[in-house]
Amino acid sequence: MLNYLTINKCFSCNTLIEEVELTDKISIFIPVFRESQLLKNMLDFLIKDSYKHKEIIVCVDEPSENSIRLINEYPEIKFILSSERRGKVTSLNEATTKADGKIYLFLDSDLLLDQKNFLNKIYTEISTYDLLEIKKKILEDSFLARNVYYDFLSGSFLNWYLSKQKVNFLWLNGSAFAIYANRFHKLGGFTKIVSEDFDMAIKAYKHDLSVGYSEEAEVLLKVNPSWKAWYKQRQRWAIGVSQWFLQNWSVLTSKEWYLKFLIPMLINLIPFFLGVAIFLMPNLIELPLTKIFLLLSLQKIVELPIIVINSNVLFLVQSIFSSLFSFIFNYVLLNYAAKKLGYIFKPIQFIFFFFIYSLLLLIVNILSVIKFLIKRNNVRLDWKV
């Protein structure tokens, strides 16, 4: 008798999810530019995975000799080679036309896979959704990676929280996610923009497809230790998200979006507004005190420099107060998030992440958005879709 898993209603929509047979094929897509040092390990792992009904398709643009050599080593894997750089979106869209799986699994080539029954976990978890974002952890093998670790933890926790609230989040980290093939084609595949993953998520939202976050299946992402590479990547992400935001302005400013998405977000951000209030509170004290000192200085009871000293001290106090509150809140929140999602929270690393890395990331994002707003369609990126 054929085994199957019967699904009732999906969490965030009123449509019924069809019965999913345990023999459903999973099509796995891995895009590569030239070569990847992790590709061979990924292929070995996926081939040995206990889930039998699968196909693996590797898309390689401008393949190196090492990539070409893998073709003979893995005759059971489909390789799609291109002598030109087509870009991630183009190569993946083409690859899906050659696949016959019921579930599509998209994996970047910079992942480490070491989880037992990985594909079975994905199969089980996606059964209650249309699209599943897979939990991502960072391989902490460099100083930069140890900071990016908390960056990913923050994003993962937010998506997990929204998933628990049965709210479809409007963004997606495309380095690892799964979607039913018929839903993928219903959405028209990937759109040719830089943030194709964000675009996929908002198209799913527009079509009322359910989006979930995996709690069991997970991947390990290797971070390029180069800060220069990090800067280029974050600049590309910021510009891509800016394009995505403008293209979907009508959705992001709609009443329906506010009700479904923004309100739960604001509730979650109440501590942030409290931090802003704490930052502004000293101003209520500073103004009357300044008037008093100014009056006294006119009467030659105190010297005018005291007013400046008073102002500087109050500004310092309010800055320390606000920073301390924000740090404590984020410390508690991400420590809780780490325990909930199976991450490891290290206080010393988090201190640097909060006070240094986050500031650098904020500066890069602001400069990138300004660059985009000034140049718009003339922005040049070392990236092809």
Indicate which CATH number applies to the domain containing 193: 3.90.550.10
User: Which of 201, 227, 253 is a domain's end point?
Assistant: 227
> Based on the domain organization, do 292 and 362 belong to the same domain?
yes
Closest CA to 126 of 188, 165, 176: 176
Domain membership flag for residue 58: yes
Q: If DSSP codes are grouped into helix, strand and coil, which group holds residue 139? A: coil
Picking from 180, 176, 159, the residue whose alpha carbon sits closest to that of residue 218 is 176
Distance, CA of 179 to CA of 89 (rounded, Å): 16
Measured distance CA(72)–CA(82) in Å, rounded: 17
Which residues constitute the domain of residue 69?
24-227
**Of the candidates 163, 197, 227, which is a domain's last residue?**
227
Same domain as 353, residue 291: yes
List Cβ neighbours of 164 (8 Å cut-off, separation of 6 or more).
none
**Number of CB atoms found within 10 A of residue 30's CB:** 24
Is 61 found in the same domain as 155?
yes
Task: Kindly state whether residues 52 and 141 are assigned to the same domain.
Answer: yes
Span 86-101, pLDDT tens digits: 999 999 999 999 999 9
Answer yes or no: do 212 and 63 share one domain.
yes
Which residue, of 227, 256, 280, is where some domain finishes? Answer: 227
Average per-residue pLDDT for the chain: 82
* Tens-digit pLDDT profile for residues 273-313: 444 444 444 444 444 545 554 454 555 544 445 445 555 56
Q: How far apart are CA 379 and CA 38, in angstroms?
A: 31
Beta strands in the chain (DSSP E): 4-5, 20-21, 26-33, 54-61, 78-82, 103-107, 111-112, 131-138, 176-180, 211-221
66 shares its domain with 167:
yes
The total domain count for the chain is: 2
- In this prediction the pTM is 0.82
Residue 345 confidence class, pLDDT cut points 50, 70, 90:
very high
Q: Is residue 371 part of a domain?
A: yes
What is the C-alpha separation between 79 and 32, in angstroms, rounded?
Answer: 11
Based on the fold, state whether residues 100 and 174 are members of the same structural domain: yes
Same domain, yes or no: 217 and 272: no
Q: Which pLDDT belongs to residue 329?
A: 83
Kindly report, residue by residue over 158-206, the tens digit of the pLDDT: 888 888 877 777 778 999 999 999 999 999 999 998 899 999 999 998 8
CA–CA gap between residue 20 and residue 7 (Å, rounded): 8
16 domain-assigned: no
